Each structure stands twice: as structure tokens, then as C-alpha cells.
Amino acid sequence: MASISPVKTREQVKKEFARKGVSIRAWAIANHFDPKLVYEVLNSQPARPCVRGQCHKIAVRLGLKEGVITNSIRNAI
């Protein structure tokens, strides 16, 4: 049975990037995300609630929220 990682805070994610010496921009590009959007998610922009779309995928990938990333809308439910 797979264990679920605890959800991280935005501050914890930023510290993890610093600890590993990885820039947010480099991580975004390596994961095929727009760096500006990743910064907006990490800086808790009010217009970025991370409910669906790219913001949801970024938040899940960073460990900011629990969730599933699906590439097929048809099979989402």
C-alpha cells in the first residue's frame, strides 16, 4: 500500500529548492510548466487557487496539495 506524502507549505517547498540548489525556474522548465505560473502558485497569488488546470498540476507536483494529475479529461471520473 502506497503512503501519501504529507502536504507541504509554500515556504517548505521554497526552502527545499534552496537546500537542493535548484532554481524554481529550472524545475518549472524541467517539468514542462511556465516558470511565471510556478512562481505565482508558490507566492499564493489570489488569482491562482490551484483548483484545476496547470495550477492544480503544479501544486500537486510540488506537494502543496493532495490530488491526482490526469492527462485525459475523458477518463477523469
- pTM over cut 0.85: no
pLDDT at position 67, please?
Answer: 87
What angle (nearest 5°) sits at the alpha carbon of residue 75, between those of residues 5 and 35?
55
pLDDT at position 55, please?
Answer: 92
pLDDT in tens, the chain (77 residues): 455 667 999 999 999 999 999 999 999 999 999 999 999 999 987 666 788 899 999 999 999 999 888 877 777 77
